[in-house]
Amino acid sequence: MINEKMLALGSRRSIIREIFEYCKQRAAVIGAENVYDFSIGNPSVAPPPEVNAAAIRLLTEEPSVALHGYTSAQGDLSVRCAIAEHIQKSFGAAVTPNHIYMTCGAAASLTITLKALLREGEECVLFAPFFTEYRVFVENAGGRPVVSLPMPDTFQIDPCDLASRITEKTAAVILNSPNNPSGVVYTEETVRAVCRVLEEKQRELGHPIYLIADEPYRELVFGDVSVPYLMNYYDNTVVCYSYSKALSLPGERIGYIAVSPRAEGSESVYLSVCGAGRSLGYVCAPSLFQKVVRDTVDARVDVGIYKKNRDLLYGELTRAGYECVRPDGAFYLFVKAPSGDAYEFYERAKARELLFVPCDDFGITGYVRIAYCVDHERIERALPAFHALAQEYGLS
């Protein structure tokens, strides 16, 4: 006998992976330059030069047995010290190394955190639109995902809707800003309103509701937009961070969990994170890259490259008559399907070799996600196809 739930998950790829694989097959037939692949959130900007320099220095100068050896289960102490100091300096939160748990990226940060916080049958609120894997992660932790719908047009969180979704079974909410798939950055006003609802509900229900901040895109913001640091607004916060996008290191699998020192029973929450990491086999994140991020803790990719892509794509698509949510961060553009049917839009675009992701599985129907973490030139080459499609729909 095998676990049928796992069999089902393994047998069916995520829609993003499905489209990404199709693009590769199609490129083999008609040439990569003729396929406009906007399917996957794989960074297109090189890691900052400091990252490779740090890796080379570590590999050539550090004793290799120690460099490649196990670290503490929760991560090397010097690494956790550097990250805690960085959080203190950047956001003023009194995080110490004993609040940090090193992980294999945001996916591991989330699976560990959910396992640490949820008890069987408890609920976790997801703000639509949301990263599709959240459902898998919550269910795997024994929880039940509950979807909260956003404000129409702005795609900010709707605090009234949130309030209506919270029950005595609610243990946590996951907030992702900048958001995948909308590119929206939740404003300080939104964050304050969300925290007010959570505070009130905690008081009313008499138990903590944890705010899980999923932050792989924190540094990917354009202009003078800033992303509120949630620990400074709400005590029961756990941050799930990753260097996948901030340093363009998605394949190296490195990130961390930071438990707020002000969380109720903060020490127990942290120990529960350690226990969840242990139970899932997520101990000792990749040793070399723990030390690389320690030595490049202030480094960031060149966000200007993504901004240039955002400006071109958002400008051209809105001019062509598409309804788009203006993204202030991440590298996704959320576009309304002109007929209201995301799959029909996807199929019509596919016929023109334009590939993006229909988002009905992201908690909102009728939208597609265009991942613009691609060469600028791919966007330029794809524009005639976007314009032709707009004409086909009678938009322009």
179, 333 in Cβ contact below 8 A?
A: no
Q: What are 240's strand-pairing partners?
A: 214, 257
Q: Closest approach of Cβ 214 to ligand PLP, in Å? A: 5
Residue 329 CB partners (closer than 8 Å, separation 6+)? 177, 178, 179, 183, 184, 185, 217, 220, 221, 222, 225, 227
The answer to whether 324 touches 183, Cβ cutoff 8 Å, is no
Does 127 participate in binding ligand PLP (rule CB under 6 A)? no
Residue of the chain from 74, 170, 177, 244 that contacts ligand PLP (CB under 6 A): 244
Name the segment binding ligand PLP (CB under 6 A); options: 100-108, 117-125, 150-158, 385-393: 100-108
CB nearer to ligand PLP: give 170 or 177: 177
Q: Which residues contact 186 (CB under 8 A, 6 or more apart)?
A: 156, 157, 175, 177, 179, 194, 227, 228
Dihedral sign of CA atoms 103, 214, 207, 118 in order: negative
Build a one-symbol-per-residue string for 257-286: x at contacts with ligand PLP by CB under 6 A, - elsewhere. ------------------------------
In the bound state with ligand PLP, the residue whose beta carbon lies nearer, of 202 and 244, is 244
When the beta carbons of 131 and 270 are compared against ligand PLP, the nearer one is 131
Pick between residue 239 and residue 390 the one whose CB is nearest to ligand PLP.
239
Cβ neighbors of 284 (< 8 A, separation 6 or more) are 70, 71, 72, 73, 75, 102
Kindly state whether residue 41 participates in binding ligand PLP, applying the rule CB under 6 A: yes
The answer to whether 216 contacts ligand PLP (rule: CB under 6 A) is yes
Contact by Cβ (8 Å): 236, 265: no
CA terminus-to-terminus distance, the chain: 57
Q: In the stretch 49-88, what mask flags binding to ligand PLP with x, by CB under 6 A?
A: ----------------------------------------
For 297, counting Cβ atoms within 10 Å of its Cβ (0-12 exposed, 13-18 middle, 19+ buried), the class is: middle
The DSSP bridge partners found for residue 146 are 125
Stretch that binds ligand PLP, among 22-30, 104-112, 156-164, 344-352 (CB under 6 A): 104-112
Contact 345, 358 (CB under 8 A): yes
- Of the ranges 83-91, 101-109, 198-206, 320-328, which one interacts with ligand PLP (CB under 6 A)? 101-109
Residue 187 within binding range of ligand PLP, rule CB under 6 A? no
Among 35, 54, 107, 374, binds ligand PLP (CB under 6 A): 107
Nearest-CB residue for ligand PLP? 105
Task: Provide the β-strand partners of residue 103.
Answer: 255
| Nearer residue to ligand PLP within complex by CB, 134 or 386 | 134
Q: Any contact of residue 202 with ligand PLP (CB under 6 A)?
A: no
* Contact call for residue 143 and ligand PLP (CB under 6 A): no
